[in-house]
């Protein structure tokens, strides 16, 4: 998608083998051979057919899982986060109206109209409210995760609150594999994700699409950075066909999810979110897990959080050390040698991270321009001036 904030630099010198592409394949780590043996059925666990679909197709839709009593506190927590952001912007003169009269589905959009990029600030807040923690470590949900990776479960350092305001490029995520954001150590590690919408998610408000069975080769394909005017990596359809054996005419599946449901997908299947063309914000959470004994791939910046262990059935999650580390601060720290000093970091509406070192930067925008002067020095032996 074109943007007034980016320009094409594909003519810049480039190497054939990029830092993120290894051509290694780990198909057995993601297909039915990887399915753990579950000795006893636990509350909330999915049918054998649903689990088979997850491993065979790379994803599975669960239409009904959470109760309103479980999910509604997440909406309350988001309202509190929006209120906190509004107050900060108002106190500093960045907005002239708190829009307190607006509700869950509209308020952030109104704030965004006065302060473009407010949704990005909220997306990278890094605050993990108790309601989010409760969902992530929900007993029934961990029982499902146990069906996917076994009884030893850690929460991955990368979780996201999606602030999908209408008609906003910054919230429309292009085709990608989740491994493209992480270091190559995790390319062989199954990291299931639960994508949980906080309203009925459909094509009008930007639900997810997946590339059915796009994980079968076991490979992480070549991605590029960055998409349009965003910080997102992107995966071209031609590359999906060539490296991942995806039929782009047949394999793209749209996944509407009702409130209370979730989309489970692995970290190799290509997926994207559609544009939100409705008049409401599409809020959602994406939460990830993995075996705690395997590399998480987050560049050593933040450790996973142990949520369940087979050796201690009564284990209680200790959130303190995990919530005390801001992942987005760590991302910026990983590229701090490339970044200028930001006076108002709290209100900075750009995002940078170590994935920008992994892939060929083909689009310049306000997110990449802060690192661009040095990226080509580091990876191509050339420097490209803006």
- Cα–Cα distance list, 226 to 149, 335, 338, 352 (Å): 32, 16, 16, 11
Average of per-residue pLDDT across 65-78: 98
- Give residue 189's pLDDT band: very low, low, confident or very high (50, 70, 90): very high
| Cα–Cα distance measured from residue 214 to residue 200, given in angstroms and rounded to the nearest whole number | 26
Report which listed range, 217-221, 301-305, 356-360, is most confident: 217-221
Residue 172 has pLDDT above 70, yes or no: yes
Task: State pLDDT tens for residues 302-342.
Answer: 899 999 999 999 999 999 989 876 655 555 555 555 444 54
pLDDT of residue 327: 52
pLDDT of residue 326: 61
Q: For the chain, give the percent of residues with pLDDT over 90.
A: 76
Average of per-residue pLDDT across 80-84: 97
**Is domain 7-67+128-379 given the CATH code 2.60.120.620 in the classification?**
yes
- Give residue 1's pLDDT band: very low, low, confident or very high (50, 70, 90): very low
User: In the chain, what is the straight-line distance between the N-terminal and C-terminal CA atoms, in Å?
Assistant: 21
Q: What pTM was computed for the model?
A: 0.88
pLDDT of residue 161: 96
pLDDT of residue 39: 86
Residue 76 has pLDDT above 70, yes or no: yes
pLDDT of residue 331: 53
- Cα–Cα distance list, 241 to 42, 164, 246 (Å): 39, 28, 5
Q: For the chain, give the percent of residues with pLDDT over 70.
A: 86
Average of per-residue pLDDT across 168-189: 96
The β-bridge partners of 361 are 225
pLDDT of residue 43: 97
pLDDT of residue 329: 59
Give the chain as a 3 state SS string: CCCCCCEECCCCCCCCCCCCCCCCCCHHHCCHHHCCCCCCCCCCCCCHHHHHHHHHHCEEEECCCCCHHHHHHHHHHHHHHHHHHHHHHHHCCCCCCCCCCCCCCCHHHHHHHHCCCHHHHHHCCCCCCHHHHHHHCCHHHHHHHHHHHCCCEEECCCCEEEEECCCCHHHCCCCECHHHHCCHHHCCCCCCEEEEECCCECCCCCCEEEECCCCCCCCCCCCEECCCCCCCEECCHHHHHHHHCCCCCCCEEEECECCCCEEEECCCCCEEECCCCCCCCEEEEEEEEECCCCCCCCCCCCCCEEEEECCECCCCCCCHHHHCCCHHHHHHHHCHHHCCCCCCHHHCCCCCCCHHHHCEECEECCCCHHHHHHHHHHHCCCCCCC
The residue with greater pLDDT, 3 or 239, is 239
Average of per-residue pLDDT across 19-29: 95
Least-confidence region, from 231-235, 238-242, 320-324, 333-337: 333-337
Average of per-residue pLDDT across 263-289: 98
The residue with greater pLDDT, 217 or 324, is 217
The residue with greater pLDDT, 284 or 3, is 284
Residue 141 has pLDDT above 80, yes or no: yes
Average of per-residue pLDDT across 269-291: 97
pLDDT of residue 9: 33
pLDDT of residue 125: 86
- Give residue 378's pLDDT band: very low, low, confident or very high (50, 70, 90): very low
Residue 146 has pLDDT above 80, yes or no: yes
The β-bridge partners of 161 are 285
Q: What average pLDDT does the structure give for the chain?
A: 88
């Amino acid at each position: 998608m074109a943007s007034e904030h980016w320009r094409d630099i594909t003519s810049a010198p480039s190497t054939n083998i990029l830092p993120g592409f290894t051509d290694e394949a780990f198909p057995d780590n993601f297909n039915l051979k990887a399915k753990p043996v579950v000795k006893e059925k636990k509350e909330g666990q999915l049918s054998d057919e649903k689990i088979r679909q997850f491993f065979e197709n790379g994803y599975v839709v669960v239409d009904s899982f959470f109760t309103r009593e479980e999910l509604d506190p997440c909406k309350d927590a988001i309202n509190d986060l929006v209120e906190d952001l509004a107050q900060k912007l108002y106190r500093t003169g960045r907005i002239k109206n708190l829009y307190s009269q607006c509700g869950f589905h509209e308020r952030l959009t109104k704030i965004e109209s006065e302060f473009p990029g407010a949704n990005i600030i909220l997306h990278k807040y890094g605050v993990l409210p108790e309601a989010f923690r409760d969902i992530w470590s929900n007993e029934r949900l961990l029982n499902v995760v146990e069906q996917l990776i076994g009884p030893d479960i850690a929460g991955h350092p990368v979780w996201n609150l999606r602030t999908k305001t209408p008609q906003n490029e910054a919230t429309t995520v292009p085709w990608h594999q989740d491994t493209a954001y992480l270091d190559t150590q995790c390319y062989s590690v199954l990291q299931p994700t639960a994508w949980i919408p906080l309203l009925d998610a459909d094509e009008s408000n930007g639900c997810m699409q997946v590339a059915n069975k796009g994980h079968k080769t076991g490979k992480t394909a070549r991605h590029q950075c960055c998409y349009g005017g965003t910080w997102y990596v992107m995966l071209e359809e031609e590359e999906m066909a060539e490296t991942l054996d995806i039929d782009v005419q047949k394999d793209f599946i749209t996944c509407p999810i009702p409130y209370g449901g979730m989309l489970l997908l692995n970290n190799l299947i290509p997926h994207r979110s559609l544009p939100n063309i409705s008049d409401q914000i599409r809020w959602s959470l994406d939460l990830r897990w993995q075996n705690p004994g395997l590399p998480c791939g987050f560049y050593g910046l933040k450790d996973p959080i142990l949520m369940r262990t087979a050796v201690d059935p009564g284990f209680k999650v200790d959130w303190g050390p995990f919530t005390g580390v801001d992942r987005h601060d760590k991302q910026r720290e990983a590229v701090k040698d490339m970044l200028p000093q930001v006076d108002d970091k709290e209100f900075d509406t750009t995002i940078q991270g170590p994935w920008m070192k992994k892939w060929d930067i083909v689009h310049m925008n306000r997110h990449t321009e802060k690192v661009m002067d040095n990226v080509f020095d580091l990876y191509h032996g050339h420097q490209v001036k803006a």
